[in-house]
């Protein structure tokens, strides 16, 4: 049989940076509300449900206490204490709220740099002057990183969406985190900004897609990204994505430095087999990986912005994101059956190669059949577990030589 317990949650709220008390901060916990006084202090009276042994119900393990104030980034905490027996924490530590302007500056700063080790890894093997197509790829990376991502962060900030890392990793969403709708005039401005960004991203995709084909990759950018995703699993990203720690710095993503090193090792291992990359240097290939990362981040933030805009108004006129960009956003590692099965009229598949067993492994190869179902082309035997990787190798040979079934 369920029972109830009563608690007074006390604490104080101040502004981050100067510790000035904040009044009129709204506190919300499981339907109970209160506000801070002129000294930033509060006493929030709550009633919680307990089981027949007096323990909190499981739902409170994921029930957040939120602090909201106009012009400040919303903060949420779990007001719990204890280990074996979890209880409501009645005396909270000093709670600091960051102004939306300051938080947006932090979010933008955290997208504007890549750490020095990553920079060295990207530059490794580079040449003094890259040909025009390679320059176009590198320029696209810089444009998204330095201009478009900060611009998008400014858009979502207008809806009270800050602390971008938590939104990108899925910790925050529109259901569990309070947001707001701006005035109609501000909403129209954000929609206009959003449409301009989408147009730029659509154009950037076309430019980079043409650039990759100009340097000898005929499969298209979506398939390149998918192939990289298949080879490297989760694409290696900057070892630290953001600014160094400090008052205005912050890190959006952090990964092991060795991940990029392993990327270079994998590139050396696969480049002979994956002739798709035979004309691409490590610097360009790494730039493509960074490009996919920044594109995915931008698209994920735009998706959040679009969802919030549709909550705030109806019948919006939103510029369409190209089908190719949406495909990149939804890419997952391909396991099992391949996605691409027809190239220039050839039916593509994979078959085992007889008498190539090594322990429990056996080599396989891609095959291409003509319209009569006859195998007319075979790829190089490989122990690769991915059907699509094998097919992409043979597809590259077919497209580069303009073969038709």
Q: Is pLDDT at 364 greater than 80 in this prediction? A: yes
Judgement on whether residues 301 and 199 belong to the same structural domain of the protein: yes
Query: Does this model's pTM top 0.75?
Result: no
Instruction: State whether 240 and 252 are in the same domain.
Output: yes
Structure tokens that stand for 309 in this block: 């805009």
For the chain, percent of residues with pLDDT exceeding 70: 68
**Distance between CA atoms of residues 264 and 275, nearest Å:** 16
- Per the structure, how many domains does the chain have? 3
**Is 288 found in the same domain as 157?**
yes
Q: Do 313 and 167 share a structural domain?
A: yes
- Specify whether 259 is located in the same domain as 392: no
CB atoms under 10 Å from CB of 52, counted, come to: 8
pLDDT 10s digits, 217-255: 655 666 666 666 655 554 444 434 333 333 333 444 443
88 lies in the same domain as 10: yes
Last residue of a domain, one of 280, 297, 329: 329
> What would the pLDDT profile of 10-19 be if each residue is shown by its tens digit?
999 999 889 9
Domain's final residue, options 54, 77, 98: 98
**Domain for residue 128, yes or no?**
yes
Token pair listed for 90: 């009645």
Note whether 31 and 92 are same-domain residues. yes
Rg, C-alpha atoms of the chain:
26
165 and 112 fall within a common domain = yes
Residues 219, 242 share a domain:
yes
CATH number at 10 reads 2.60.40.1120
Residues with Cβ within 8 Å of residue 252, at least 6 apart in sequence: 107, 110, 111, 164, 165, 168, 241, 242
The lowest-confidence range among 138-152, 165-179, 238-252, 368-382 is 238-252
> Which domain covers residue 164, as residue numbers?
102-329
Directed axis angle between helix 221-232 and helix 257-270, to 10°?
A: 110
- Which of 83-97, 109-123, 341-355 is predicted least confidently? 109-123
Residues 300, 368, single domain; the answer is no
* Residue 154, in any domain of the structure: yes
Q: How many CB atoms lie within 10 A of CB 38?
A: 9
Q: Which of 329, 357, 375 is the last residue in one of the domains?
A: 329
Claim to verify: residue 180 and residue 321 sit in the same structural domain? yes
Residue (of 123, 120, 183, 173) closest to 313 by Cα position: 183
158 in the same domain as 115 = yes
| Residue 321 falls inside a structural domain | yes
């Amino acid at each position: 049989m369920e029972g109830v317990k009563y608690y007074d949650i006390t604490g104080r709220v101040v502004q981050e940076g100067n510790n000035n008390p904040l009044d009129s901060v709204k506190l919300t916990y499981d339907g109970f509300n209160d506000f801070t006084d002129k000294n930033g202090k509060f006493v929030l009276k709550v009633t919680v449900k307990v089981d027949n042994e007096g323990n909190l119900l499981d739902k409170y393990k994921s029930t957040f206490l939120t602090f909201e104030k106009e012009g400040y980034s919303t903060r949420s905490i779990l007001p719990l204490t204890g280990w074996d027996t979890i209880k409501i924490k009645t005396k909270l530590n000093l709670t600091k709220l960051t102004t939306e302007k300051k938080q947006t500056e932090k979010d933008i700063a955290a997208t504007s740099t890549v750490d020095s080790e990553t920079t060295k890894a990207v530059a490794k093997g580079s040449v003094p002057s890259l040909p025009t197509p390679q320059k176009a790829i590198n320029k696209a990376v810089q444009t998204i990183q330095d201009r478009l991502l900060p611009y998008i962060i400014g858009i979502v900030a207008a809806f009270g969406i800050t602390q971008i890392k938590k939104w990108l990793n899925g910790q925050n969403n529109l259901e569990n985190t309070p947001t707001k709708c701006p005035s109609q005039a501000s909403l129209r401005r954000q929609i206009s900004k959003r449409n301009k960004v989408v147009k730029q991203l659509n154009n950037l995709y076309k430019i980079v897609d043409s650039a990759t084909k100009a340097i000898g990759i005929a499969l298209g950018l979506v398939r390149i990204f998918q192939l990289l995703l298949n080879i490297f699993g989760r694409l290696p990203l900057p070892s630290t994505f953001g600014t160094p720690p400090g008052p205005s710095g912050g890190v959006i993503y952090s990964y092991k430095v060795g991940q990029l090193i392993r990327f270079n090792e994998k590139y050396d291992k696969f480049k002979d087999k994956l002739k798709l990359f035979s004309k691409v240097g490590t610097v360009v290939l790494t730039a493509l990986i960074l490009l996919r990362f920044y594109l995915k981040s931008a698209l994920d933030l735009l998706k959040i912005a679009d969802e919030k805009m549709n909550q705030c108004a109806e019948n919006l006129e939103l510029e369409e994101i190209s089908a190719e960009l949406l495909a990149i956003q939804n890419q997952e590692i391909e396991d099992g059956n391949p996605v691409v099965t027809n190239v220039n009229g050839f039916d593509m598949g994979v078959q085992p190669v007889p008498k190539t067993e090594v322990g429990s492994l056996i080599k396989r190869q891609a095959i291409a059949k003509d319209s009569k179902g006859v195998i007319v082309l075979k790829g190089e035997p490989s122990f690769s577990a991915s059907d699509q990787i094998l097919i992409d190798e043979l597809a590259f040979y077919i497209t580069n030589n303009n073969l038709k079934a």
